[in-house]
Chains A and B, each alone.
Chain A
Amino acid sequence: MVGAFQDGDGRPTLGNLDALTSDAALSALKGSLVLSATTALIGAALGALLAYLVVSLPSQSLLRRTTLAISGVLAQFGGVVLAFAWIATIGSVGIVTKAMSDVLGVDIYGSGWLFDLPGLVVVYAYFQIPLMVIVFAPAFEGLRPQWREAAVNLGASTWDYWRHVALPLLTPAFLGALLLLFANAFAAYATAAVLVSQGQPIVPLLIRQAITSEVLLGQANVGFALALEMIVVVTIVMVAYNLLLKRTSRWMR
């Protein structure tokens, strides 16, 4: 953190923070926020749906246990391996790309979108959705059947129950999970590092450039400043997450 306020010779400076307002840094921050928000929303929506379907199965159901187990594995399946898995699947000579063009004559590869921000969205969703399933399934399980019975006894329809009981209960947990997913995508690096080599569209890649560039020298302190910027964003997200968590736990005892 100290390094963010020093120049190459260790003298104090605010110049690095200035560098954060450069076009490249701002567009990387924007890219990071857009990527994290998009994949968090996609992951949260699809993950919540999947969690609901899974939890409504009987607790001994094989399908339920398998889905949860696979989610547990896939939520951690990030990094280099994941990137290569996708390249092998929908890269220019990927299995699916080949099959689609041979059988249907469709070119899903286009001009290499997999290796740009849209590609990152697809690939990140692959670990965001399962993560949502594991963090959100307990919230569904926390909905006690008694509450539904009570609502029905009082004359509520299914819609009334969801509208007035279940959704308000689930909302804090949902928003909390959304923030967790956001932070997860925001901090991910290795997957993006393998897929995207040009233009550094997100902050972690811009930090890589600042530290390892052999064209622009002496940028290490700008890297520290960028890291500080990331810490600030993640701190905001985590504080919000904790507030929501408190609110959720009040209901879910």
Chain B
Amino acid sequence: MNTRKTLVSLTALATLMSVAACAAPEKKADTTTESGVDAATATSAEDFGGMDELVKAAQDEGELNVIALPPDWANYAEIISTFEDKYDIDVNSDQPDAASQDEINAANDLKGTDRAPDVFDLGQSVALANTDMFAPYKVETFDDIPADFKDADGTWVNDYGGYMSIGYDSSKVPDVTSVQDLLGPDFKGKVALNGDPTQAGAAFSGVMMAAIANGGSADDIAPGVDFFAELKKAGNFLTVDPDSGTIEQGTTPVVIDWDYLGSAAAANVDTWKTVVPEEAVVAGYYFQAINADAPHPAAARLWQEFLYSDEGQNLWLKGGARPVRGDQMAEDGTIDADLWDALPEVTGDPVIPTDDQTTTAGEYLAANWSKAIR
């Protein structure tokens, strides 16, 4: 009886293992285009023989996999549909609400399949920790991008940024002018932070903003954590993860988040206002990169060209985000001036935490955040 049991288990185990072994066959896709260019190693449109050839190569692939691009985040819904219509390429948008690390995990898990993400849109720390997964590529407008906002080889390029802001429904709470206002009794159970700061980059910057408003700095995030502890004690801190849905319903009348997400909320809530507190201006940029193992390498490169074209940059601006070429385009007069001027006013020098400062602050948060808000 026991021998039989053992045999059965062994057979079952062997079956499982063989299934696991065939689960993801490493497919070495042929990435050479009809004109004989290896799209996976191309570092500029020139390598394809010009934009027209790149478009043709991308259209041959016919598809583009993107991941973690929420439709209401920096106008991605319109960016994706415009790209689809313009080039007749299907965009498969996977896990729109995923976090940056999920993008990297998905790229590793799906490596070698045609479902792997072609391009990434990442937060700073995840992007800088994974540069060996990116394919260097310089878009045609590469020289327009300020040197601080790109890798010299084009391994990654900042795409859009914004300022940490306080968005609020002015029909439900009084006007907010500073971070300190949020401690008031009118904000009971109303203040939400976009995610957990030990997980989400946006929330992390929110705590950083609170730290700077309360005498801390990019090197010392502790006053920010203390501020949220106080907020929690006052009964004002709401542990809901806000998104455009909860804002529209009214579950989260006050949201600490990037200013461009605030302006997306304003589209559905007339009384929504977004302020960048002048005593604590924290800026942050997201990172754009091409997956080195992209199943659709030409489409991935065309997507980059589109994002950094005037059209793509203006689409981000339409979502309230500050496109990385914004200043240059304003000078050239190619920017949508109405939208550019309508961005929330920002005074003072913005703080952009470095990678080291982010790591140190992250460790402090890991040890203290859950205690602070309990």
Contact = CB atoms under 8 A, between A and B. Distances in A.
A213 B250 CA distance: 27
Nearest to A194: B241
B358 A199 contact: no
Interface string A85-127: 0010001110000000000000001111001100000000000
B306 interface: no
Contacts of A218: 129
A70 B34 CA distance: 61
A9 interface: no
Contacts of A38: none
Chain A: number of interface residues, binned into ranges: 20 to 34
Interface stretch (B25-33, B50-58, B71-79, B98-106): B98-106
A27 B372 CA distance: 12
A197 B373 CA distance: 11
Contacts of B59: none
A200 interface: yes
Given A24-B370, A93-B249, A215 B240 contact: no
B64 to A, nearest CB: 23
B189 A213 contact: no
Contacts of B251: 87, 91-93
A200 B374 CA distance: 10
Interface stretch (B5-13, B199-207, B266-274): B199-207
Nearest to A19: B366
Nearest to B249: A93
Nearest to A113: B189
Interface string B224-261: 00000000000111111100000001110000000000
Interface string B91-124: 0000000111110010000000000000000110
A116 B239 contact: yes
A171 interface: no
A56 interface: no
Residue of A23, A24, A93 contacting most chain B CB atoms (<10 Å): A24
A198 interface: yes
Interface in A1-40: 22-24, 27-28
Interface in A54-71: none
B198 interface: yes
Contacts of B241: 197
Nearest to A28: B370
B197 interface: yes
Contacts of A212: 98-99, 101-102, 105, 199
22 contacts: A27-B371, A27-B374, A92-B250, A112-B189, A116-B239, A196-B239, A197-B239, A197-B241, A198-B193, A198-B196, A199-B369, A199-B374, A200-B370, A201-B370, A201-B374, A208-B199, A209-B198, A214-B99, A214-B126, A215-B365, A217-B125, A217-B129
Interface string B184-213: 000011000101111111001000000000
Interface of B: 98-102, 105, 122-123, 125-126, 129, 188-189, 193, 195-201, 204, 235-241, 249-251, 358, 362-363, 365-367, 369-371, 373-374
Residue of A111, A212, A218 contacting most chain B CB atoms (<10 Å): A111
Contacts of B235: 110-111
Interface string A172-205: 0000000000000000000000001111110000
Contact of B101 (A24, A110, A196, A213): A213
Contacts, number: 110
A198 B239 contact: yes
Contacts of A200: 196, 198, 370
Interface string A73-91: 0000000000000010001
A154 interface: no
A83 to B, nearest CB: 11
Nearest to A220: B105
Contacts of B237: 111-112, 198
A50 interface: no
A18 B358 CA distance: 23
Contacts of A196: 239
A27 B371 CA distance: 9
A111 B188 contact: yes
A141 B189 CA distance: 47
Contact of B240 (A27, A197, A209, A216): A197
B99 A111 contact: no
Given A112-B189, A197-B196, A214 B201 contact: yes
A211 interface: yes
A212 B200 CA distance: 9
Given A24-B366, A27-B371, 20 more contacts: A22-B367, A24-B371, A92-B250, A93-B249, A111-B236, A112-B237, A112-B240, A115-B240, A199-B239, A208-B199, A209-B196, A212-B98, A213-B198, A213-B199, A215-B204, A215-B365, A216-B363, A216-B365, A216-B366, A217-B101
Residue of B198, B363, B374 contacting most chain A CB atoms (<10 Å): B198
B199 A209 contact: yes
9 tightest A-B contacts by CB?
A197-B241, A111-B235, A111-B189, A198-B239, A214-B100, A199-B370, A112-B238, A215-B362, A213-B199
A199 B239 CA distance: 8
A17 B129 CA distance: 24
B125 A115 contact: no
Given A93-B250, A196-B239, A199-B373, A216 B367 contact: no
Contact of A215 (B199, B249, B250): B199
